[in-house]
């Protein structure tokens, strides 16, 4: 984002909450001509409200043309609060943007960038854009280190959403990124245990196991396995969508696979429209048969 911001204008960054010591250097190295810093723990311990308060204050003081936010959970929360507070709009899921005479034109890629929509914001003042991950290549663009310490938010009323504990869920198995074969399961898997079957299939093909958001949200598999708009984007040679209906958000993370093979009991599932090969049937019968068949052919 700093690379893109430096391209269209002068880039500045805001750093809130405790951060590693070299964080400001990293920002300056990538193009931040100024860094507003408040290292207070309030930003770590209380979600959304303190950060939105501080960012809103900076926006009203400096009136930047555009403010970019990462499309993370925290980024989206802060933007939501800012829109309501400042009575302005925001464009989410932005892949690229241009500034034209003070107005902004944002490109929103859809379905794995196979087509795109464009949007603009028609209100006065700073335009808020929520940028999807990996949209811009980072560039080294060393700036002299200029840090301005700003007062931290301290109002008691901002300490409402208390972050009590961060739980890191470890992932197992081969890396999804770069896998030639990805075997993904969705809601149709019906539970955590059944993912073992997908693991067997992935192992037989030397691939990795992924999942749709429904399976992740249900708690069957960790977030690190999620493929789609709010998860990972994969480009394998073969993508298996098993028990996945094919919501747009999921498609955007796997649409560019060379071949898509799907198994779903619902013949109307949208995933079939994007599949090179689809089986309408019971995945609990089809998958074991496929594993068995792969073993047989390997031994033959």
Partner 1 sequence: MTIEIDSNTKRMARKGVPHELDPAAASAVEEGLRLTEKHGGTVTLVTMGISEITIGIRNALAMGAASAVHILDEAVAGSDTLATAKILAAAIKKQEFDLVICATESSDSYSGIVPGQIAYFLGVPPMTFAKEISVDGNKITIKRQSESGYDVVESTLPALVACSSGINEPRYPQLKGIMAAKKKEIKVYTAADLGLSPDQVGEKGAREKVLTIGRPPKRQSGKAISDEGEGGKQIADFLAEIKVI
**Footprint of partner 1 on 243-282 (CB under 8 A):** 247-249, 259, 261-263, 267, 270, 272-282
Contact 17, 43 (CB under 8 A): yes
- Compute the distance between CA of residue 231 and CA of residue 223 in angstroms, rounded to an integer: 7
Is 66 a binder of partner 1 (CB under 8 A)? no
User: C-beta of 191: minimal distance to partner 1 in Å?
Assistant: 11
Of 43, 213, 221, 244, which lies in the binding site for partner 1, with binding defined by CB under 8 A?
A: 213
The DSSP letter of residue 144 is: -
Task: Considering the complex, state which of residue 140 and residue 168 has its C-beta at the smaller distance from partner 1.
Answer: 168
- Distances from the Cα of 208 to the Cα of 173, 182, 188, 198, 294, angstroms: 7, 5, 19, 9, 16
Is 72 a binder of partner 1 (CB under 8 A)? yes
**130 to 159, contacts with partner 1 by CB under 8 A?**
130
* Interface pattern 176-195 for partner 1 (x via CB under 8 A): -----x-----x--------
The phi and psi torsions of 40 (rounded to 5 degrees) equal: -55, 145
Task: Considering the complex, state which of residue 43 and residue 274 has its C-beta at the smaller distance from partner 1.
Answer: 274
Total residues at the site for partner 1 (CB under 8 A)?
Answer: 92
The phi and psi torsions of 196 (rounded to 5 degrees) equal: -60, -35
Q: Which residue has the tokens 């394998």?
A: 236
Cα 178 from chain centroid (whole Å): 17
Task: Considering the complex, state which of residue 58 and residue 263 has its C-beta at the smaller distance from partner 1.
Answer: 263
User: C-beta of 9: minimal distance to partner 1 in Å?
Assistant: 21
């Amino acid at each position: 984002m700093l690379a893109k911001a430096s391209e269209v204008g002068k880039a500045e960054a805001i750093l809130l909450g405790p951060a590693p010591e070299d964080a400001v250097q990293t920002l300056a190295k990538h193009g931040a001509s100024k860094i507003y810093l408040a290292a207070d723990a309030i930003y770590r311990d209380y979600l959304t409200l303190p950060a939105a308060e501080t960012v809103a204050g900076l926006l009203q003081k400096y009136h930047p043309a555009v403010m970019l936010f990462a499309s993370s959970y925290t980024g989206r929360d802060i933007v939501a609060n800012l829109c309501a507070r400042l009575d302005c709009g925001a464009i989410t899921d932005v892949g690229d943007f241009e500034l034209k005479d003070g107005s902004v034109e944002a490109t929103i890629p859809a379905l794995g960038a196979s087509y795109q929509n464009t949007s603009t914001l028609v209100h006065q003042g700073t335009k808020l854009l929520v940028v999807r991950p990996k949209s811009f290549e980072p560039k080294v663009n060393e700036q002299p280190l200029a840090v301005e310490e700003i007062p931290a938010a301290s109002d008691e009323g901002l300490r409402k959403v208390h972050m009590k504990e961060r739980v890191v869920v470890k992932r197992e198995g081969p890396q999804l990124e770069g896998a030639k074969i990805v075997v993904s399961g969705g809601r149709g898997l019906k539970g955590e245990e059944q993912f073992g079957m997908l693991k067997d299939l992935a192992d037989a093909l030397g691939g990795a196991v992924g999942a749709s958001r429904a399976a992740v949200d249900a708690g069957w598999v960790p977030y690190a396995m999620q493929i789609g708009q709010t998860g990972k984007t994969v480009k394998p040679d073969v993508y298996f969508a098993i028990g996945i209906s094919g919501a747009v958000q999921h498609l955007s993370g796997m649409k560019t696979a060379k071949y898509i093979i799907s198994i779903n009991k619902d013949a109307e599932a949208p995933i079939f429209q994007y599949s090179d090969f689809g089986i309408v049937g019971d995945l609990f019968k089809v998958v074991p048969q496929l594993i068995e068949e792969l073993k047989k052919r390997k031994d033959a």
